[in-house]
Structure 1
């Protein structure tokens, strides 16, 4: 079996581009390839895709290679333009075209700062040494790419964030998604929200938002990562949490699965049948549910029999969520929908 290929974060690409540009600013020559040291000691070398030297400024660009990860920024051109700064100012960061600006509190950067995260900033300061320099990071097409990320909801406007804590993209690790969930909680807390919702998809998110009148910055794009939401809220509580999703995803949570992806968890039809029997459902309906092919089929079987499978799943999912929260001051409610967005269960 062929192993998946690792890639490099936007932060690593920006660091390498900044090093190449700064070297050219000082010497007139661009190192190509340019090598950097990552936080865990790896020493990757990056080929330059573009370079430009002018009076008082140097620009270098690197095409991001995310390896075999389906990263939205794979193939993006990350540029660093470096200019001399005023004596004693150190390294100053600016957001160029395609890099966002922070507009809401709650992120690890002050409002008004370019969305270049702390670790990439540290990496760039290390490669520039004690230089007084202005470093402008830009990403070609970054504003359009950012519209497909969490950035607008987090209050990062105008483009992408320059990310990365290790410099390495691990294929299918989904670490960026989980990090976005955490930053979403941080932003909601900073905005004073007392109620947030984690939804498995756009339909369930719309239902939860309309049901409770929640603003955008209270909505967490949970996807399959119910565990990420619950574990982060355990450490950083918000008074109320709504979990919303389709019957299949919520049935998985009801069975104790915290990763709801189809490759990592399956609907337990035996559990659904047991929930029915425990609630007084007849043995015949329970047997049909036990042999159902999908959660939606089980839901239809129970609806025909007048049995509230959606409510039973919601109640068990709520119990699981409460157990994961381990007594944190978070009140949980669960909303279960069908494929059309109709609420079929609540607890």
Structure 2
């Protein structure tokens, strides 16, 4: 039997752990070799602390990012948190130091000029610090050794995030990227649902898209997070006798499905924004979509445009044609497209 793949933790969790360790050190209550931190999606994790330093007015801790068995470019990165505390202040302020990228183009979740520390890790860092320092003003500066060099192995330069890596993580942990393990899970979850009599299934790209779908619609009893495994999930649904597949997804994954990609992971190819721009022009939408840095930026450009829902439905129809080819069966298909704030942008079903 093959050993189970090892789960790791995100750069956000590493930063939160370093910040908490520094907070303990600044109080001179402990010199921890590991700390227990909250995770953005719930639960907690114990993280080893590699190094601690104390100066007259600050404390610094280092955590080594461990991606587990995932092939992550940031695995082994040394994440530093330098912390100062002002008992008379009120806020936890988080800054990006050397090795943390800075946003230079619009269209990301952070404004231009901001350090590339995403919202969920910012909340995680603040929560971890407040467990030790429940009051007062706190300044936390996150830095990454050799962060600029590491970033060259990521998508950051292409996205306009310059000078280092991003501090990321909506879940807090890193699941290993294993095709076999994920496909086995999809197979098993479908088999259980079919045995219970289900004829419809909700496919989602992750927990967030599932949550948004359930907030708008009575979801099928069975929901499966298929991540990037589009072709396999569709073939398996048809093979196990499902009649209707519902998709809940965001624009980037919808575009990749419309491109006919059997697997939508970034390793297998980029989003084709030229396709989006061409379909938009055919519907009278004159926006520079092809030059958008990301699908998220393109979605922001389209927000509120009268013809945007028609464009999205055209993408869904194209995705459905590929989906039926992958399934090798005339599945009924429904697509629900969401913005990152949970707004339903469009919905379409096969005729």
TM-score, with structure 2 as normaliser: 0.55
| Matching residue within 141, 150, 171 for 2:155 | 150
* Structure-2 change in CA distance of 1:169 and 1:240 (3 Å): same
Q: Secondary structure at the match of 1:17?
A: helix
Give the Cα separation in 1 of the matches to 2:152 and 2:124: 27
Matches within 5 A, 1:1-347: 1=1, 2-27=3-28, 29-85=30-86, 87-129=88-130, 130-172=135-177, 216-217=291-292, 237=308, 254-256=322-324, 324=335
In the alignment, which residue of structure 1 is the partner of 2:189? none
Q: Secondary structure at the match of 1:256?
A: helix
Give the Cα separation in 2 of the matches to 1:238 and 1:100: 34
In the alignment, which residue of structure 2 is the partner of 1:335? none
Give the Cα separation in 2 of the matches to 1:42 and 1:82: 24
Give the Cα separation in 2 of the matches to 1:139 and 1:40: 24
The C-alpha deviation readout for 1:123-154, integer Å capped at 9, x for no partner, is 22112223311111112222222223232333
Offset, 1:61: 0.9
For CA contacts below 8 A with separation 6 or more, give which structure has more relative contact order: 2
Offset, 1:210: 12
Q: Secondary structure at the match of 1:67?
A: coil
User: 5+ residue gaps in structure 1?
Assistant: 186-196, 222-228, 244-249, 258-264, 272-319, 331-347
Q: Secondary structure at the match of 2:54?
A: strand
Equivalences, count? 247
Contact 1:106 1:183 in 2 (8 A): no
Give the Cα separation in 1 of the matches to 2:124 and 2:294: 32
* Structure-2 change in CA distance of 1:182 and 1:73 (3 Å): farther
* Structure-2 change in CA distance of 1:255 and 1:45 (3 Å): closer
Q: Secondary structure at the match of 2:73?
A: coil
Report which stretch shifted further, 128-137 or 144-153.
Answer: 144-153
Report which stretch shifted further, 106-115 or 70-79.
Answer: 106-115
* Structure-2 change in CA distance of 1:17 and 1:149 (3 Å): same
Query: Which consecutive aligned stretches of 4+ in structure 1 deviate over 4 angstroms post-superposition?
Result: 181-185, 197-216, 218-221, 233-241, 250-253, 323-326
Give the Cα separation in 2 of the matches to 1:183 and 1:133: 37
* Structure-2 change in CA distance of 1:54 and 1:204 (3 Å): closer
TM-score, with structure 1 as normaliser: 0.55
